[in-house]
Structure 1
Amino acid sequence: MPRPTTPLPDDPLARLVGQPAGAIDTPALVVDLDAMQRNLARMAEFCRKHGLRLRPHAKMHKSAALARLQVQAGAVGVCVQKTSEAEAMAAGGITDVYISNEVVAPQKLARVAQLAHRLAAEGGQLSIAVDSAPGITRLAEAMNEARRASGGTAVIDVFLEIDVGQGRCGIAPGAAAVPLAHEVRKHPALRFAGLQAYHGRAQHLRTAEQRREAIAHAADGVVATRRALEAQGIAAGLVTGGGTGSMACETASGVWGELQAGSYLFMDNDYALNERDPAQPQFEHALFVKSQVMSVSPEHAVCDAGHKSHAIDSGLPRVHRIGSTPDLVVTGCSDEHATLRAAAAGGPLPALGDIVWLIPGHCDPTVNLHDHIVGVRGGLEAGTVERTLRVDARGALT
């Protein structure tokens, strides 16, 4: 079940609101609200300028409060990957939610159908991706059962996922979409809405040219699919996809009508390693792990933020240079520790008790390690805690 979105009376971080950033205990996940707000505004302006819908991926921040901020800034809604994430976003007041992933288990599809009816009753909409005929049939059965049980008439929007280069879910581009679109259209509780075309591998290709080539190939697959559908009298509908790393490429193609970029809000270290496409807004790092030096030796120091505080699937975190922080690199991590060394031989190390701010390698799984995010306004060192954000969908894996 989704977690409640209202702050709990015993929220251990509630006391921090109004206090200086220095009062935040370590390790803690902290968002620079000023940087985040600039990222939010730049993305909203980019989409307005290019006439694109924005449906940011809430699996990145897992926070209904942040999802509401994105909607207030112009997003049409959010997308998620899990049924439980969709439930958490809906419980937090988001009425337009897209599960951009396949759901085939009957018990999950029953929840999907119930959520579709609940959102419809609130004037909202639930959408979902499919890539198989059995998946479509099972979805229709669940929707029909929910209709019988509730007396409702909700319709769920269905997007056919095509594999445009990720090599994960999705059917091959082209004619394979036609029988599936026909299958969707057979069921009154399902509405064929368009194509899911997300190229995840392209997000972290390091050069802008590599990303442009990958998305050009993806666009060819989308166009071939759209033509196959239209040849059979089926309107292809909306094409949704794109991410923070490649969004300028999808935009320039003229093929996509909706972007699913999510990491732009926080920007992790892995995205910072990409060569920036000049056609894309400049996003700033906004998410940090506050840590403290707990041990010092002649050759290295150790801070108190290890694997349990930040994910390293996309590499070790980067030390954020701020104020008097020496130039450091993280050279290793364990459960509760990160080892720090001087970036240059013989360089200075931090002192015992010093604060070290880490930029996570991958923001999505890092957020999933924390119950709350502490929001600071006015800078990480001199700023003030303005709010705490509950990670509503933490552990939402089903």
Structure 2
Amino acid sequence: MRSTPDALIGQGVACIDTPAACIDLDAMERNIARMADFARRHQMRWRPHAKMHKSAAIALLLEQAGACGHCVQKTSEAEALATGGVRNLLISNEVIAPHKLLRVAQLAAELAARGGRLGLVVDSLEGITRLADAMGAAGSDAGIDVLVEIDVGQGRCGAAPGPEAVALALAIAAHPRLKFAGLHAYQGSAQHLRSVAERRAAIAHAVQAASATRASIEATGLPVPLITGAGTGTMVHEATSGVYGELQAGSFLFMDADYAANERDAAQPAFEHALLIKTQVISVRANHAVCDAGHKSHAIDSGLPLVHGLPPGRALRYANGGDEHGILHAEGPETRLPALGDMLWLIPGHCDPTVNLHDHLIGVRGGLEHGVVERLIRVDARGAVT
């Protein structure tokens, strides 16, 4: 008979069916403590990105540790987390559709009524006008924090630093229902530049662009309250820049195989892998083994997973076997392949879209070998892509 997920609580890790997304709770909590300490020591606000974990329970846990709020990328993510009790949210992405902006306006009013606040980033005059119209249509005087997104090197969204961004800031300030709240200056493409030197150089350019744009806006008499940005790969540079006031790093919580490929910066905390996929070996051939975790259980957009926690002499390489299978190869001629029925743990290539594949995350306390299932964490914003 099928058991409910709740029946796992109190059971050992051997009882977790495969494939399953699991959190090493001890490692996650150490990551949170290190991040909170880093933000305190650098006197930085800390607004982690919830698009990574998509869980209201985890967001509230991070707030208990000192986070001032959370970033999301989608309106529906903000709605899901707000329903779960999160009150301070920034949609760090452009929203243009009028019907969606009406949802933004309604959520801003709901959060304000609960003592919270909603923010949104913009990169066009049309986006500002449409947002102001939606706030008016909603009939709310709650207001909304609006930040100008500037392109500091990613080449995705964002107004050009300088005069274009200045015009947008002034346009926001002209609308009574909109509050100009600062600049959003996130350099996403720098997060996985492999060397410390490359990441430092990329953020030096971002810092210069953000600083110059702030100076240009303030020359008009309009204060720039905040510059926000930074990710797990570069946050040490934004934190020591003297320009950024808020960090948006999110992947530090779980880490993934792609981050493991970065050269570590000694000035940055050593974060641990806390999100893992439990999988079982279901077939063994002469030259490879097959596990039951294919790319329906973990994302491969940033590369294939690593096999975690094997002792010396047993290293395995994961190869893509399709939707439901992973192919395991011995890394060296002396390595033994796993046996039929063996359980293994995979570090996903990219944590964010991996989480979005699962309804809940299984929280394990006491380690992956002898630990016990302590809690189930609902992925509240799974599939929240609008």
TM-score, length-scaled by structure 2: 0.98
Tell me the residue number matched to 2:20: 28
Amino acid at match of 1:274: N
- Equivalent residues of 1:56, 1:78 under 8 A apart: yes
> Residue 325 of structure 1: CA displacement?
9.0
1:68 to 43, 52, 60: 60
Tell me the residue number matched to 1:250: 238
> Residue 327 of structure 1: CA displacement?
1.1
Mapping of 1:117-128 within 5 angstroms? 117-128=109-120
In the alignment, structure 1 residue 103 sits paired with structure 2 residue 99: no
Tell me the residue number matched to 1:7: none
SS at match of 2:376: strand
Amino acid at match of 1:65: A
Mapping of 1:36-75 within 5 angstroms? 36-75=28-67
- Equivalent residues of 1:325, 1:356 under 8 A apart: no
- Equivalent residues of 2:149, 2:158 under 8 A apart: yes
> Residue 83 of structure 1: CA displacement?
0.1
Tell me the residue number matched to 1:383: 371
> Residue 12 of structure 1: CA displacement?
2.5
Tell me the residue number matched to 1:115: 107
> Residue 11 of structure 1: CA displacement?
8.8
Equivalenced residues, count: 385
Amino acid at match of 2:355: V
- Distance in 2 (alpha carbons) for counterparts of 1:111 and 1:326: 52
Tell me the residue number matched to 1:198: 186
- Distance in 2 (alpha carbons) for counterparts of 1:211 and 1:336: 36
Amino acid at match of 1:115: L
Mapping of 1:1-398 within 5 angstroms? 12-147=4-139, 152-322=140-310, 326-398=314-386
- Distance in 2 (alpha carbons) for counterparts of 1:170 and 1:131: 5
- Equivalent residues of 2:299, 2:353 under 8 A apart: yes
- Equivalent residues of 2:313, 2:334 under 8 A apart: no
- Distance in 1 (alpha carbons) for counterparts of 2:263 and 2:3: 40
- Distance in 2 (alpha carbons) for counterparts of 1:388 and 1:215: 37
- Distance in 2 (alpha carbons) for counterparts of 1:281 and 1:379: 21
SS at match of 1:353: coil
SS at match of 1:129: strand
Identity of aligned residues (%): 64
> Residue 322 of structure 1: CA displacement?
4.0
Instruction: Give structure 2 stretches of 5+ with no counterpart.
Output: none
Tell me the residue number matched to 1:4: none
- Distance in 2 (alpha carbons) for counterparts of 1:270 and 1:379: 23
> Residue 145 of structure 1: CA displacement?
1.0
Residue-by-residue CA offset, 1:217-273 (whole Å, 9 max, x unaligned): 111100110111011111122000000000001112111000000000000010011
- Equivalent residues of 1:325, 1:350 under 8 A apart: no
Per mean C-alpha deviation after superposition, the further-off stretch among 324-333 and 191-200 is: 324-333
> Residue 323 of structure 1: CA displacement?
6.0
- Equivalent residues of 2:42, 2:240 under 8 A apart: no
> Residue 153 of structure 1: CA displacement?
1.6
Indicate how the Cα distance of structure 1 residues 118 and 306 shifts in structure 2: closer, same or farther if over 3 A, else same: same
Amino acid at match of 2:13: A
Q: CA RMSD in A?
A: 1.2
SS at match of 1:309: coil
SS at match of 2:41: helix
- Equivalent residues of 2:313, 2:335 under 8 A apart: no
> Residue 381 of structure 1: CA displacement?
1.3
